[in-house]
Amino acid sequence: MTDLSGKTVLVTGGSRGIGAAIARATAAAGAHVLLHYAKSRAAAEALREEIGAASCHLLSADLAEADAASTLWRDAEAQAPRIDVLVNNAGIFAPAPVTAPMADWRQAFAQVMQVNLTAPAELCKLAVAHFRQTGGGKIINIASRAAHRGDAPDQWPYAASKGALVALTKTIARGYAAENILAFAVAPGFTETDMAYVGMTEADISRILSEIPLGSMAAPEEVGALVAFLCGDEVRHMTGATFDINGASYVR
């Protein structure tokens, strides 16, 4: 089992779903977790109590706001002078139908890009600078199956943001491996979270499941287990890789 004792892991969007599973898995492996949340304070507090207050510190920031990423990183460094792993998990959906008025479409696109790409990129920038001073570290970006196969017609922003996040991860891996800074992307397909069911009908869910050869959505715990493993040092030479978790619904 991966041993993360003595390591500090910053997880964005950590109060629910995949983020909460990552927080649990890394804490179970011995890490101290800096758990970021935006609005779900009650859920974040409950998770902190579950993990144990000594192993989990809460940080609040709305990554939809400009400069929120810088504030979050500054608060994280105040709690832990050495951060070993950044996990960019926070993300949103905002439908942008091609039939929408341009102003509305542009607003949805910008909102998704801010949360799903710009804020993670800013955190990556700050993490690289931090890791250069501390002897190295890891960045794990939670992307999506949509980065490779695309998404629904009204989810252009989401697919574009996740595709860009994968490219960003590869660029970081290539650029900073010599400085012991490693980067990985994880690309889940549909996962059993509240976010997966937003706007879904029973017919939608049945169709989705029919497209997954395993016949079910992934559990958040599967993603959490993989991320905890990547936080360790067992697969350093896989830096730059993207790991798919989609039940063979999209095989590259």
What is the residue-wise DSSP string for 213-241? TTSSPBPHHHHHHHHHHHHSSTTGGGTT-
- The whole-model pTM stands at 0.94
> What pLDDT does 197 receive?
64
Q: Is the pLDDT of residue 181 over 70?
A: yes
Q: What is the pLDDT of residues 192-213, one digit of tens each?
A: 887 666 667 888 888 889 899 9
Mean local confidence (pLDDT), 156-183: 98
What is 55-79 written as a DSSP string? Answer: GEEEEE--TTSTTHHHHHHHHHHHH
- Which domains occur in the chain, in start order? 8-244 (3.40.50.720)
Please state, in angstroms and rounded to a whole number, the distance separating the CA atoms of residues 119 and 15: 18
> E strand or H helix at 173, and its extent?
helix 156-176
Of 37, 158, 176, 197, which is the active-site residue? 158
CA distance 80 to 240: 26
250 assigned to active site = no
Adjacency order of strands within the sheet including 56-60: 56-60, 32-37, 8-11, 85-88, 137-142, 181-188, 242-245
Q: Which token pair is 138?
A: 């890891």
**For residue 198, what pLDDT is reported?**
66
